[in-house]
């Protein structure tokens, strides 16, 4: 679906002046003219200036060059993004907002334009639990800012569209094997091709396991709890599968991931260092079929039907009992998108979506019996329309709105307005305003464990965000591009977990209001002839509008640098990644130190036909740092990994 | 004497610096010589090569000719000046090289000498009933057969074109493609800014992208989106010339401009011997060369047969 936002405007400023070529000077000149080479150009650079949003694209090449292992690694290299890990999940923070305990509900994760946030927690899985192996990714398009006017709920701070590889990108089989610190191993088999009849297929399967590491927690430093050392309780395993088959106007796509993780942190007051506390989350799968074709000279229709399953199973060992949670979600989706140029100067995108949640079940049991057995079904539907109107050759207006209807809280309408001005062939100025929402999820509305710790709140409303943004994009020549974003947002009715003073139970309520301002600067492309990369700096100030206090887990500054260069006739490439994260407040408003992590990757290609080797060293300087975590944990922060390595070999048949 | 003089004139034509200058600067014709007026659109290498080939071929024929050259220097406003230099009204044959030059001569209704034209794209660019020549476009069938040589397994041929310029060529290509077992997936592009949408519509429908000479669709300004689309989607683009191949097209058929000049000289010889131009159908280039970009081939995981590599005029790597 980001094609809607990217392609609907793809031509916006690509040709601000109608190209006249050889007309008037002699048509044969087209055969004689020098044509600029494209090898040094980003394959996607056009999309950046043409989209009515600030966009970052990370390509498969970059993923290899910097040794990225997960979607979280990729996002950490993107301006304005930071992550936190509590050794259960990886959480993305965006533009100074990284609420502790939030399961990535304020970013929308799409795979080939298909929504993959689950239907119970609305979680975007970005760590090792991600639905798509990084080796199956062709590129990741990060659309910064609110996107609900096209995508609905969760497109709050950003929309992340993972574009997967196609059969034609493989043209045969590939295998890869890797090993790294903490006895981590991963294997992958992929096959893809495009056949003479035009059909195209991609199949990819991967398996990962890791013994994890020993961890020390001062809060548990007692002989009764192994002196605070968690041993052999950090293991992790996943397997995933992804497949895509295209023939004619139809594309069938399926994905599946099953992720298991032991919890070494004594989370939720469980027995510390007990191997029985673990997650099987997610077990997530989908299959969809898409039909896409031109229905007229200037009109295109896309129809898609999908089926999805999600399961979360958690086992939590307490001194006298073991609590088991088992949530199951099943839903189907239908969407239609019509794009057309109904009149000169207009480009229209109109769409409809329906999601039928046939199962949204939550259950919790322990030895004493059933604490929660909540079975739900629901539906939501949406209509949206967006028009791009060319007012002048160098000025576009983009206006759109989407109305969503939920059975739980009713309706919401989210508009968007963008002015795109091509100040020159090199400079694009974008003035953007957008509103977005996040619908309360089933967990927040209905989770209640029988008055033990938490109760539901059927009166929850969606939280909303309004963002204004000024973006300037500049082609600096020689393959170098710069971008600056100045933004301000206000979040209202933020869904926040509180203790109800009447009964002492946790409950989610729409209570808080947040305001933030920030600036993001980015420079990317080629420099000094042989260096390629991206550098960014983000300053963000987000505060609780009620108290005026700075938000927790919100670094004021983020700085990133990714640079790679080839050696030895392009057979070897070195990639360096530096990421600075400023100090963050913990939940008790203590401050974690700022830190810089340096990662190095060497990538060897073209020594033996089909063979690719890479060696990565992460946190080369062995910097000690910790991420703030929610009050589900005894510690306020959890230490992150020090120096570690990965060796990887991939072979194409 | 004639040969020496022709060589000097050819050199003058190559330099062309004074070609559009005062007519008096050029030597007076010998009355036994055949007077040929040459009008060139501009002074770029293809024009120089074609003119050199033309004069050289006439030398080989042993024809005594006097050649006067005028150049428009790429500017239609300089037609009068160029015509004054070439003196076509006194010529027994006019050679025009390029569309501007051809249009300038066609606009002079008082000229009666037969016209031989080179370096124009297509037959419709020739200068009327009293003209023949060599066009730059290869026949559709030739181009499609080369597609099949490079991509024997690929059938869906994507092509973008502006309807005003290329409708008839595309209609012919549809028929020829069908006869050859290919399917032409043609997209009409009215304005350059519509190009990205039309390209995207080919992403899952075309096995390769065939470039046809078109002043709206294929220009230095549109080259980047087209080549990036090709690169991104691993759909090889067949360019228009060696320059397109260097920029990232997989291969391109190209012309030997010196030989096109010689081919024009053959037509001119026949005309001067009395064959009316209307009896001489316009010809495509008789000599075909091609270039290949191996870097693009590697990116697209395409194996180029050794025979094709060996036959290439240039292999870019």
B233 in contact with A, Cβ within 8 Å: yes
Question: Nearest-CA neighbor of A367 among A303, A440, A318?
Answer: A318
Whole-angstrom Cα distance, residue A279 to residue A448?
20
What residue in A sits closest to B224 (Cα-Cα)?
A38
B192 neighbourhood in chain A, CB within 8 Å: 14-15, 18-19
Full residue range of the structural domain in which residue A473 is found: 2-652
CATH number at residue A311: 2.40.170.20
DSSP type of residue A7: H
Interface of A with B in 66-95 (CB under 8 A): none
What would the pLDDT profile of A387-403 be if each residue is shown by its tens digit? 988 888 889 899 999 99
* pLDDT for res B11: 35
Structure tokens at B8: 């000097």
Partner-chain contact A198 B155, CB within 8 Å: yes
B-contacting residues in A 244-283 (Cβ below 8 Å): 246, 251
Q: Report the candidate in B64, B66, B49, B41 with the shortest Cα–Cα distance to residue B14.
A: B49
- Tell me if chain B has a CB within 8 Å of the CB of A21: yes
Inter-chain touch A14–B196, beta carbons under 8 Å: yes
CATH of domain B140-254+288-316: 3.40.50.2300
Stretch A78-99: mean pLDDT: 95
Task: Give the C-alpha separation, A628 to A577, whole Å.
Answer: 23
Question: Which are the contacts of A619, defined by CB distance < 8 A and separation ≥ 6?
Answer: A597, A598, A599, A641, A642, A643, A644
Residue-wise pLDDT tens digits, B252-272: 999 999 999 999 999 999 999
User: Residue B6: is its pLDDT beyond 50?
Assistant: no
Six-digit token pair at B235?
């759909």
Contacts by A455-458, CB closer than 8 A, 24 or more apart:
A455/A500, A455/A503, A455/A505, A455/A506, A455/A507, A456/A374, A456/A507, A457/A507, A457/A508, A457/A509, A458/A408
- For residue A612, the chain B residues in CB contact (below 8 A) are none
| Number of CB atoms found within 10 A of residue A363's CB | 16
Between residues 280 and 339 of chain A, which touch chain B (CB distance below 8 Å)? 292, 294, 297, 300
The C-alpha of B221 sits at a distance from chain A's nearest C-alpha, in angstroms, of 7
Q: Mutating which of B48, B193, B213, B230 best tests the A interface, going by the most A Cβ atoms within 10 A?
A: B193
Query: Are A27 and B195 a contacting pair at CB < 8 A?
Result: no
Tokens representing A510?
């729409």
pLDDT-wise least confident of A427-441, A448-462, A592-606, B133-147: A448-462
Instruction: Provide the pLDDT for residue A37.
Output: 61
Nearest CA in chain B to A14: B193
**Residues A497, A502, A505, A510, Cα dihedral to 10°:** -20
Is pLDDT of A432 > 80? Answer: yes
**Per-residue confidence at A36, pLDDT binned at 50, 70, 90?**
low
Q: Shortest Cα distance from B248 to chain A (angstroms)?
A: 6
Contact flag A30-B120 (C-beta cutoff 8 Å): no
By 3-state DSSP, what share of chain A in percent is helix, strand and coil, each rounded to 5?
Answer: 10, 55, 35
B33-53 burial, b if ≥16 CB within 10 A, otherwise e?
A: bbbbbbbbbbbbebbbbbbbb
Return the minimum-mean-pLDDT range out of A125-134, A310-319, A534-543, B72-81: B72-81
List the single residue in B with minimal CA-CA distance to A26: B99
Rounded to whole angstroms, the Cα distance separating B185 from B155 reads 10
DSSP state letter for A223 = G
Question: pLDDT, tens digit, for every residue of A182-235?
Answer: 999 999 999 999 888 889 999 999 999 999 999 999 999 999 999 999 999 999
Query: Which residue in A83, A262, A76, A84 sits closest to A629, CA to CA?
Result: A84
* Cross-chain Cβ contact B99/A246 below 8 Å: no
Task: Give the pLDDT score at A342.
Answer: 84
Tell me which chain B residue has its CA closest to the CA of residue A341. B194
Largest Cα separation within chain B, whole Å, is: 66
Q: Which of residues 111-150 of B touch A (CB under 8 A)?
A: 119-122, 125, 136
A23 in reach of chain B (CB within 8 A): yes
> Any residues with CB less than 8 A from the CB of A481 and at least 6 apart, and which?
A42, A45, A48, A473, A474, A475, A523, A524, A525
| Same fold: B2-136+256-279 with B140-254+288-316 | yes
Question: Is ipTM > 0.95 here?
Answer: no
Task: Assess whether pLDDT exceeds 50 at residue B16.
Answer: no
Nearest one of B264, B260, B254, B252 to B292, comparing CA atoms? B252
- Find out whether A134 and A70 touch, Cβ atoms under 8 Å: yes
Q: Which of A128-142, B184-198, B210-224 has the highest mean pLDDT?
A: A128-142
- Residues 6+ positions from A342 with CB-CB distance below 8 Å: A298, A348
How many angstroms separate the CA of residue B55 from the nearest CA in chain A? 21
Q: How far is it, in rounded angstroms, from Cα A447 to Cα A444?
A: 6
Per the CB < 8 Å rule, is B207 touching A10?
no
Q: Mean pLDDT in chain A?
A: 90
Percentage, residues of chain A above pLDDT 70? 93
CB-based contact A35 B244, cutoff 8 Å: yes
Q: What is the pLDDT of residue B147?
A: 94
Question: Mind telling me how many Å the CA of B29 is from chain A's nearest CA?
Answer: 31
Instruction: State how far residue A550 is from chain B, nearest Cα, in angstroms.
Output: 43
**Chain A contacts of B232, Cβ < 8 Å?**
43-44
Q: Does domain B2-136+256-279 have CATH number 3.40.50.12780?
A: no
Contact list, A297 vs chain B (CB under 8 Å): 188
Q: What are phi and psi of B191, to 5 degrees?
A: -135, 150
Chain B contact set for A21 (CB, 8 A): 214-216, 218-219, 221
Of A10, A38, A200, the CB nearest to B197: A10
B255 touches chain A (CB under 8 A): yes
Q: Does A41 contact chain B (CB < 8 Å)?
A: yes
Q: Calculate ∠ Cα A441-A444-A447, nearest 5°.
A: 115
Show which of residues 181-220 on chain A sit within 8 Å of chain B, judged by CB atoms: 194, 196, 198, 200
Domain extent listing, chain B: 2-136+256-279, 140-254+288-316
For the segment B244-248, the average pLDDT, to the nearest whole number, is 90
| Contacts with B215 from chain A: Cβ below 8 Å | 20-23, 27, 30
Distance from the Cα of residue A475 to its chain's centroid: 27
Q: Which of B188, B204, B213 sits opposite A27 (nearest CB)?
A: B213
Q: Please say if the pLDDT value at position A406 is more than 50.
A: yes
The token duo for A263 is 């919890």
**What is the total count of domains within chain A?**
1
| CA torsion through residues B132, B133, B137, B143, sign | positive
Is the Cβ pair A38, B228 closer than 8 Å?
Answer: yes
Burial of A566-600, coded b for 16+ CB within 10 Å and e otherwise, reads: beeeeebbebbbbbbbbebbbbeeeebebbebbbb
């Amino acid at each position: 679906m980001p094609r809607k936002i990217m392609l609907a405007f793809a031509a916006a400023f690509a040709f601000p002046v109608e190209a006249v070529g050889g007309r008037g000077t002699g048509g044969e000149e087209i055969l004689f003219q020098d044509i600029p080479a494209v090898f040094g150009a980003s394959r996607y650079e056009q999309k950046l200036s043409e989209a009515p949003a600030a966009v970052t694209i990370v390509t498969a090449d970059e993923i290899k060059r910097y040794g990225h292992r997960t979607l979280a690694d990729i996002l950490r290299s993107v301006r304005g993004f930071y992550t936190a890990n509590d050794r259960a999940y990886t959480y993305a923070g965006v533009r100074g907002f990284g609420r502790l305990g939030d399961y990535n509900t304020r970013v929308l994760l799409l795979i080939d334009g298909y929504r993959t946030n689950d239907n119970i927690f609305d979680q975007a899985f970005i760590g090792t639990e991600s639905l798509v192996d990084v080796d199956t990714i062709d590129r990741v398009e990060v659309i910064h800012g609110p996107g609900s006017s096209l995508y609905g709920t969760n497109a709050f701070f950003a929309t992340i569209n993972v574009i997967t590889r196609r059969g034609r990108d493989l043209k045969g089989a590939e295998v890869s094997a890797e090993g790294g610190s903490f006895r981590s191993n991963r294997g992958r088999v992929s096959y893809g091709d495009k056949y003479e009849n035009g059909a195209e297929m991609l199949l990819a399967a991967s398996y990962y396991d890791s013994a994890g590491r020993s961890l020390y927690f001062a809060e548990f430093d007692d002989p009764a709890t192994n002196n605070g050392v968690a041993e052999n309780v950090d293991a992790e395993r996943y397997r995933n599968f992804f497949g895509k088959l295209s023939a004619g106007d139809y594309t069938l796509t399926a994905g599946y991931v099953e992720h298991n993780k032991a919890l070494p942190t004594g989370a939720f007051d469980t027995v510390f260092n007990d191997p029985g506390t673990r997650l099987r989350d997610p077990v997530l799968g989908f299959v969809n079929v898409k039909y896409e074709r031109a229905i007229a000279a200037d009109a295109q229709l896309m129809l898609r039907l999908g089926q999805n399953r999600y399961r979360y199973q958690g086992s939590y060992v307490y001194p006298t009992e073991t609590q088991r949670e088992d949530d199951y979600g099943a839903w189907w989706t239908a969407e239609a998108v019509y794009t057309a140029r109904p009149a000169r100067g207009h480009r229209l995108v109109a769409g409809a979506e329906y999601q039928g949640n046939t199962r949204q079940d939550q259950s919790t049991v322990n030895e004493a019996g059933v604490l929660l057995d909540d079975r739900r079904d629901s539906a939501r539907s949406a209509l949206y329309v967006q028009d791009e109107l060319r007012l002048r050759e160098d000025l576009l207006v983009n206006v759109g709105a989407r109305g969503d209807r939920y059975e739980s809280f009713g309706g919401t309408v989210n508009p968007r307005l963008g002015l795109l001005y091509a100040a020159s062939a090199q400079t694009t100025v974008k003035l953007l305003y957008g509103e977005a929402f996040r619908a309360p999820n089933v967990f927040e509305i209905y989770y209640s464990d029988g008055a033990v710790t938490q109760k539901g709140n059927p009166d929850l409303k969606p939280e909303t965000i309004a963002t204004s943004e000024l973006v300037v994009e500049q082609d600096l020549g020689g393959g170098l591009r710069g971008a600056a974003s100045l933004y301000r947002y206000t979040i209202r009715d933020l869904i926040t977990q509180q203790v109800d003073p009447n009964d002492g139970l946790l409950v989610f309520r729409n209570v808080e209001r947040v305001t933030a301002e920030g600036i993001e600067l980015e420079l990317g492309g080629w420099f000094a002839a042989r260096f390629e990369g991206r550098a960014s700096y983000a300053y963000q100030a987000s505060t609780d509008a009620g108290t005026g206090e700075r938000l927790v887990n919100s670094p004021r500054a983020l700085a990133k640098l990714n640079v790679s260069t080839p050696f030895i006739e392009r057979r070897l490439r070195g990639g360096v990644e530096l990421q600075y994260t400023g100090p963050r407040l913990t939940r008790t408003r203590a401050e974690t130190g700022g830190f810089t992590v340096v990662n190095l990757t060497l990538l060897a290609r073209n020594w033996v036909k089909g063979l690719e080797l890479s060696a990565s060293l992460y946190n080369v300087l062995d910097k000690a740092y910790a991420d703030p975590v929610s009050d589900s944990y005894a510690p306020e922060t959890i230490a992150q990994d020090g120096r570690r390595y990965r060796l990887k070999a991939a072979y194409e048949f | 004497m004639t040969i020496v003089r022709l060589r000097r004139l050819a050199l003058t034509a190559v330099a062309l610096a004074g070609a559009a200058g005062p007519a008096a600067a050029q030597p007076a014709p010998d009355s036994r010589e055949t007077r040929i007026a040459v009008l060139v659109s501009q002074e770029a290498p293809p024009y120089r090569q074609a003119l050199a080939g033309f004069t050289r071929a006439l030398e080989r024929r042993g024809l005594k000719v006097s050649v006067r050259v005028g150049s428009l220097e790429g500017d239609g406003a300089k037609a009068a000046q160029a015509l004054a230099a070439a003196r076509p009204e006194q010529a027994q044959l006019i050679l025009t090289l390029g569309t501007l030059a051809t249009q300038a001569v066609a606009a002079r209704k008082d000229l009666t000498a037969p016209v031989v034209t080179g370096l124009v794209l297509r037959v419709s660019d020739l200068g009327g009933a009293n003209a023949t020549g060599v066009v730059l476009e290869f026949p559709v069938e030739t181009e499609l057969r080369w597609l099949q040589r490079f991509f024997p397994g690929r059938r869906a041929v994507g092509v973008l074109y502006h309807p005003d310029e290329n409708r008839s060529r595309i209609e012919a290509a549809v028929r020829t493609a069908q006869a050859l077992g290919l399917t032409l997936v043609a997209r009409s592009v009215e304005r350059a800014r519509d190009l990205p949408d039309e390209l995207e519509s080919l992403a899952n429908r075309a096995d390769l992208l065939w470039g046809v000479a078109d002043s709206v669709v294929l220009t230095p300004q549109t080259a980047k989106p087209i080549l990036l689309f090709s690169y991104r989607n691993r759909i090889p683009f067949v360019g228009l010339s060696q320059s397109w191949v260097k920029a990232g097209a997989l291969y391109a058929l190209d012309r030997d401009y010196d030989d096109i000049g010689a081919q024009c000289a053959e037509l001119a010889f026949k005309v001067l011997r009395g064959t009316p131009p209307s009896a001489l159908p316009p010809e495509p280039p008789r000599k075909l060369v091609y270039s290949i970009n191996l870097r693009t081939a590697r990116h697209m995981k395409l194996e180029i047969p050794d025979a094709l590599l060996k036959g290439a005029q240039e292999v870019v790597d």
